Amino acid sequence: MQQVDLVIIGGGPAGLAAAVAAHEAGIRDIMILEREAVPGGILNQCIHNGFGLHSFHEELTGPEYAQRYIDQVQALQIPIHLGTMVLDITAGKEITAVNKSGVLQLQAKAVILAMGCRERPRGALNIPGFRPVGVYTAGTAQKYVNLNGFMPGKEVVILGSGDIGLIMARRMTLEGAKVRAVVELMPYSTGLKRNIVQCLDDYGIPLLLSHTVTEIRGKKRLEGVTISQVDDKRNPIPGTEETIPCDTLLLSVGLLPENELSKAAGVELSPVTGGAVVNESLETSVEGVFACGNVLHVHDLVDYVSEEAALAGRNAAEYILHGHANGEGIPVCTQGGVRYTVPFSVDPHKITDAATLRFRVDAVYRERYISVYLDGERVLHRKKRILTPGEMEEVKIKKDLFDTHPGVGTITVAIEEG
Amino acid sequence: MVYDVAIIGGGVIGSSIARELSRLKLHIVLLEKEPDVANGTSKANSGIVHGGHDCAPGTVKARFNVPGNAMFDTLSRELDFPFKRNGAWVIVSSETDIPRLEKLMEQGIANGMTGLSILNQDEIRRREPSIHRAAVAALDVPSSGIVCPYEMTIAYAENAAENGVEIRLNFKADTIAKRDGIFHIEGPAGSVDARILINAAGLYADTVNNMVSSEPFVITPKRGEYFLLDKTEGSLVSRTLFQLPDESGKGVLVTPTVDGNLLLGPNSRVTGDKEQTSTTREGLREVAEKALLNVEHVAMNKVITSFSGLRASTQTDDFIIGPSPDVENLINVAGIASPGLSSAPAIAVYVRDLVKTMTHAEENAAFQPVRSTFARFRHMTVEERRNAIAKNPDYGVIVCRCEQVTKAEVLAALRGPLHVHDVDAVKRRTRAGMGRCQGGFCMMRLPEIIAEELHIPLTGVTKSGEGTNLLMNQNKQNL
């Protein structure tokens, strides 16, 4: 068994940024394990621009954004094992992986989970009908089109208005397909506003809110889909059925953090995020195992993934160099439309100048306040014109606030009307 | 040339007969209209190897079910397909129904079963903690098992091919005529002549029979719909749980699959259309509701796919097996609804013996009962993996993350004896794409590997036969 200080599972944006930060914090014995043949993760197929506005103040494409981190990892000579699939992680931080050269068995001092997420498949939706060719997740189609250079079809319907669905509506149009409609179950899009404007409105692609696909037609090849309007409980309304002929149905119906390895290691997962329950250091319930990026919770912007991953990298380094000073974390509670926060608890002794809490809301809210309470006392109250489930929100709680409020029992993040 | 035997249909029945017949020195051809064997009813059913308590004594079903079941241990080892005797329970929720369980038990004993017993409530709750609280007793059927029905069919067909049976895929028999004692079978892919015709055409066995016989029968498709759940739910129950059977069949069951998933289904609805394998909103709702008669709770958010299959049922609700009453050398093996999978091994032996009597064929001395197959990465120990990768580095390239399928296995499937090349064919031979992400990742890798192996463009890769190309054209070609 090979001893390694820090093993990072995943060489996408989270894993790369975590590696760079851990190196800067003094760790030299780092190994990144990446299952694909190239580093960069899903960014490699995101050839559209709009990445890096926050981190680099530039508009980069996905591959360009990834390259910035790949260059740093290479300059720092951090080893990255490509084509390497991790099969198992134990609570004792033993890692088993395979690649063309054989089986790797590693004993790590600390592990960073950065495996990303996967798309929710058709099966999870139980759309009735046949199972013909022509039904793909949006990400699979994105790979076919952007990396292989081939189109799955000519007449397209997209179910789900998450960002990948919106981006693919534009891409399929630019590459010569006719996108008939983007169909969204909810009364609002779960994608970024800028993507609705730039990917649908600019190309005259209709966005059908409060609609869903209720039947898949065609036995061998997709011939069309039946769509129906849904009521406020999201049930299809009889009599509203409409058939749209198409040869391709793309599904953009949610992303699921890919935590099978985390489960095997005994990491506690949140039923809300599907990711690990972490403290302010982004450490999971298993000591020395950290998580960041989309495996922790699904992000809207990669810039925040990088920022979060750097925090995980620094804290993993701190853990390797100085071990644990186990303090008591203050639990974070949510109220009034806040679905969850990451982290789930904060130990004031372990934050440098502020604790950043990221969260998502459960519906669209207009003219509301984000409030933070330390026990009963409101310490933060910020007006937001609009909050939507598609966009991640954040609040920062300054370290001083904890100094002036010693012995706090709970932190509460809430959406309030006044 | 004139074949000694032509088998129409590459389902579990045609494939098992082909393999049993390959023990004899005969020229045999199997004709399958689809691009792979196990592409109809044999790919979409419960995968249960029934004990045999369910068949009325004296029926053809009763004759084959129990002996068929007994053959699975040896067969699954020889042919290397997944099979497990996990046992089944028929459960009742009312004390007044216990006499009906006793009657089922007597029926099972009359059919030659052993080991049956009736368990009380304490016993069933202790042994299956997730069982529905209303369940008061169960008939224990320890000989019941679970099998992967398409892997079993593929295994039979591949072993038949290894032993000299010619398997012609994509051969649809449009017309069959008998002239001068020879069956002439014609279709778009060509024509075949044979002395003996075995009708194992599943849902279309009536069409095949009625083309040559003046003793017609009708096969009615009955649709059954299913939910398949993530492997995380596969240990909800360890046995197959049924309700008491009623007119429509054995009812909706809850069972682990032999691959470790959880399966719910089927319902039963007559459809007029033999291609009507779509699922319906109402049907799926019915399955979800009725599954909950067996267990307290099912995590429906862990469903990874839903599908439906068609039962080939007859007017008599029994199998039609044996020589045609009016056409010499025509053997019908028709109406093979449940327990057809369980009976298939015994049916195949019966048909082999029948053909042997008809032809006086010698034994095929070269017959090899053990199918040559490939090692599955997911079943290997660390040491075995190390050795496998050292010999073949493609064993270190994971194509399907969820089911841990390697490139070596995908290539082995493509290089198998049936010369299949569809994505679905690879999927059924390796399980690539059958996991929780349902191909989200490996559907990117598989087409590339297939195109490279077959030296075809990516646009030539098909899901399941002609017209099912995954990719249609290059980017911008339609601008």
| A176 contacts B477? CB cut-off 8 A | yes
**Out of B385, B438, B470, closest to residue A122 by CB:** B438
Residues of B in contact with A144 (CB under 8 A): 444, 470-471
Identify whether B39 is part of a domain.
yes
Identify whether B388 is part of a domain.
yes
Would the pLDDT of A133 be above 70?
yes
Q: What is the CATH number of the domain that holds A403?
A: 2.60.40
Q: What is the CATH number of the domain that holds B101?
A: 3.30.9.10
Answer yes or no: do A67 and A147 share one domain: no
Chain B stretch 274-303, residues whose beta carbon is closer than 8 A to a beta carbon of chain A? 275, 277-281, 283-284, 301, 303
Please enumerate in sequence order all residues whose Cβ is within 8 A of that of B46, keeping only pairs 6 or more positions apart, or say none.
B224, B226, B253, B255, B263, B265, B266, B338
Answer yes or no: do B278 and B205 share one domain: no
Nearest Cα to Cα of residue B196 among B214, B177, B210, B183: B183
Answer yes or no: do A194 and A83 share one domain: no
Answer yes or no: do B430 and B298 share one domain: no
Answer yes or no: do A372 and A277 share one domain: no
Pick the residue from chain B with its C-alpha nearest to A216. B278
Answer yes or no: do B226 and B345 share one domain: no
Answer yes or no: do B369 and B381 share one domain: no
Would the pLDDT of A255 be above 70?
yes
Q: Would you say A273 and A296 are in contact if contact means Cβ atoms under 8 Å apart?
A: yes
Answer yes or no: do B272 and B332 share one domain: no
**Could you list the residue range(s) of the whole structural domain that residue B452 is in?**
377-460
B382 touches chain A (CB under 8 A): yes
| A149 contacts B474? CB cut-off 8 A | yes
Strands of A90-173, DSSP E: 94-99, 102-113, 117-119, 135-137, 150-151, 155-159
- The CA distance from B196 to B331, in Å, is 8
Interface confidence, given as ipTM, is: 0.94
The catalytic residue among B50, B53, B132, B421 is B50
The residues that bridge with A388 in the sheet, in sequence order, are none
B450 touches chain A (CB under 8 A): no
Tens digit of each residue's pLDDT (9 = 90 or more) over A55-88: 999 999 999 999 999 999 999 999 999 999 999 9
* Helix A13-24 vs helix A62-75: crossing angle, to nearest 10: 30
Interface test with A, best of B228, B398, B428, B479 (most A CBs within 10 A): B398
Q: B399 to each of A32, A404, B104, how far by Cα in Å? A: 20, 54, 47
| B397 contacts A148? CB cut-off 8 A | no
Answer yes or no: do B321 and B227 share one domain: no
Residues of A in contact with B404 (CB under 8 A): 87
**Out of A101, A148, A247, closest to residue B396 by CB:** A101
Give pLDDT, residue B247.
76
Q: Would you say B149 and B45 are in contact if contact means Cβ atoms under 8 Å apart?
A: yes
Answer yes or no: do A49 and A114 share one domain: yes
Identify whether B430 is part of a domain.
yes
| B444 contacts A121? CB cut-off 8 A | no
Residues of A in contact with B303 (CB under 8 A): 123-124, 126
Answer yes or no: do B288 and B352 share one domain: no
Pick the residue from chain A with its C-alpha nearest to B303. A124
- Asked which of A227, A253, A279 is the last residue of a domain, the reply is A253
The residues that bridge with B398 in the sheet, in sequence order, are B406
Identify whether B478 is part of a domain.
no
Interface test with A, best of B475, B476, B477, B479 (most A CBs within 10 A): B475
Tens digit of each residue's pLDDT (9 = 90 or more) over A280-303: 999 999 999 999 999 999 999 999
**Out of B278, B396, B472, closest to residue A153 by CB:** B472
Would the pLDDT of A328 be above 80?
no
Plot region of B22 (φ>0 → left; ψ -120 to 50 → alpha; else → beta): alpha
- The CA distance from B5 to B18, in Å, is 9
| B472 contacts A150? CB cut-off 8 A | yes
Least confident among A132-136, A242-246, B475-479:
B475-479
- The CA distance from B403 to B220, in Å, is 36
DSSP labels, B422-477: -HHHHHHHH-TT-STTTTTTHHHHHHHHHHHHHT--GGG-BSSSTT-BS--EETTT
| B472 contacts A126? CB cut-off 8 A | no
Residues of B in contact with A216 (CB under 8 A): 278
Give pLDDT, residue A123.
82
Q: What is the CATH number of the domain that holds B34?
A: 3.50.50.60
| B467 contacts A221? CB cut-off 8 A | yes
How near does any CA of chain B get to the CA of A100, in Å? 4
- Asked which of A253, A278, A301 is the last residue of a domain, the reply is A253
Q: What is the pTM of this model?
A: 0.96
- Asked which of B268, B289, B311 is the last residue of a domain, the reply is B311
Q: Would you say B472 and B461 are in contact if contact means Cβ atoms under 8 Å apart?
A: no
Q: What is the DSSP pairing of strand A338-342 with strand A354-361?
A: antiparallel
Answer yes or no: do B7 and B134 share one domain: no
Answer yes or no: do A95 and A14 share one domain: yes
Answer yes or no: do A240 and A126 share one domain: yes
Give pLDDT, residue A325.
65
Our measurement of the distance from residue A307's CA atom to the centroid of its chain's CA atoms, rounded to an integer in Å, reads 13
**Out of A101, A129, A154, closest to residue B472 by CB:** A154
Residues of B in contact with A132 (CB under 8 A): 468
Answer yes or no: do B69 and B164 share one domain: yes
Q: What is the CATH number of the domain that holds A222?
A: 3.50.50.60
Q: What is the DSSP pairing of strand A289-291 with strand A102-113?
A: parallel
Interface test with A, best of B232, B276, B428, B441 (most A CBs within 10 A): B441
pLDDT > 90 fraction of chain A, expressed in percent and rounded: 94
Question: Between A and B, how many CB-CB pairs are < 8 A?
Answer: 140
Please enumerate in sequence order all residues whose Cβ is within 8 A of that of B248, keeping only pairs 6 or more positions apart, or say none.
B268
- Asked which of B344, B373, B402 is the last residue of a domain, the reply is B373
Cα angle B378, B384, B389; round to 5: 85
Interface test with B, best of A106, A220, A222, A234 (most B CBs within 10 A): A220
Give pLDDT, residue B226.
98
Residues of B in contact with A176 (CB under 8 A): 473, 475-479
- The CA distance from A270 to A278, in Å, is 9
The residues that bridge with A381 in the sheet, in sequence order, are A371
Answer yes or no: do B50 and B93 share one domain: no
- The CA distance from B138 to B89, in Å, is 6
Q: Is B50 labeled as catalytic in the residue annotation?
A: yes
Give pLDDT, residue A125.
87
| A150 contacts B473? CB cut-off 8 A | yes
Tens digit of each residue's pLDDT (9 = 90 or more) over B237-285: 999 999 998 877 788 999 999 999 999 999 999 998 999 999 999 999 9
**Could you list the residue range(s) of the whole structural domain that residue A310 is in?**
1-118+255-323
Answer yes or no: do A213 and A311 share one domain: no
Pick the residue from chain A with its C-alpha nearest to B433. A121
Answer yes or no: do A317 and A388 share one domain: no
pLDDT > 70 fraction of chain B, expressed in percent and rounded: 100
Answer yes or no: do B192 and B71 share one domain: yes
Answer yes or no: do A331 and A383 share one domain: yes
Answer yes or no: do A13 and A78 share one domain: yes
How many domains does chain A contain in total? 3
Identify whether B472 is part of a domain.
no
Give pLDDT, residue A326.
64
B170 touches chain A (CB under 8 A): no
Q: Would you say B335 and B318 are in contact if contact means Cβ atoms under 8 Å apart?
A: yes
- Asked which of A323, A349, A376 is the last residue of a domain, the reply is A323
Identify whether B465 is part of a domain.
no
Answer yes or no: do A350 and A401 share one domain: yes
Would the pLDDT of A34 be above 90?
yes
Q: Which residue has the tokens 């995908």?
A: B410
How near does any CA of chain A get to the CA of B288, in Å? 11
| A151 contacts B472? CB cut-off 8 A | yes
* pLDDT tens for each residue of chain B, 479 residues long: 999 999 999 999 999 999 999 999 999 999 999 999 999 999 999 999 999 999 999 999 999 999 999 999 999 999 999 999 999 999 999 999 999 999 999 999 999 999 999 999 999 999 999 999 999 999 999 999 999 999 999 999 999 999 999 999 999 999 999 999 999 999 999 999 999 999 999 999 999 999 999 999 999 999 999 999 999 999 999 999 999 988 777 889 999 999 999 999 999 999 989 999 999 999 999 999 999 999 999 999 999 999 999 999 999 999 999 999 999 999 999 999 999 999 999 999 999 999 999 999 999 999 999 999 999 999 999 999 999 999 999 999 999 999 999 999 999 999 999 999 999 999 999 999 999 988 888 888 999 999 999 999 999 999 999 999 999 999 999 88
Tens digit of each residue's pLDDT (9 = 90 or more) over A164-180: 999 999 999 999 999 99
User: Phi/psi of residue A228, each to 5°?
Assistant: -135, 155
CB count in 10 Å sphere of residue B379: 9
Residues in chain B: 479
Q: What is the CATH number of the domain that holds B386?
A: 1.10.10.1100
Answer yes or no: do A346 and A199 share one domain: no
Give pLDDT, residue B82.
97
Residues of A in contact with B470 (CB under 8 A): 133, 144, 152
Answer yes or no: do B200 and B320 share one domain: yes
B468 touches chain A (CB under 8 A): yes
| B470 contacts A133? CB cut-off 8 A | yes
Q: Residue B180 half-sphere exposure, CB side, CA atoms within 13 Å?
A: 2
Would the pLDDT of A22 be above 90?
yes
Interface test with B, best of A47, A150, A263 (most B CBs within 10 A): A150
**Out of A119, A130, A132, closest to residue B440 by CB:** A119
How many domains does chain B contain in total? 3
Q: How many helices (H) and strands (E) does chain B have?
A: 13, 23
How near does any CA of chain A get to the CA of B455, in Å? 16
Identify whether B466 is part of a domain.
no
Our measurement of the distance from residue A261's CA atom to the centroid of its chain's CA atoms, rounded to an integer in Å, reads 17
Residues of B in contact with A131 (CB under 8 A): 307
Nearest Cα to Cα of residue B374 among B144, B151, B216: B151
| A176 contacts B479? CB cut-off 8 A | yes
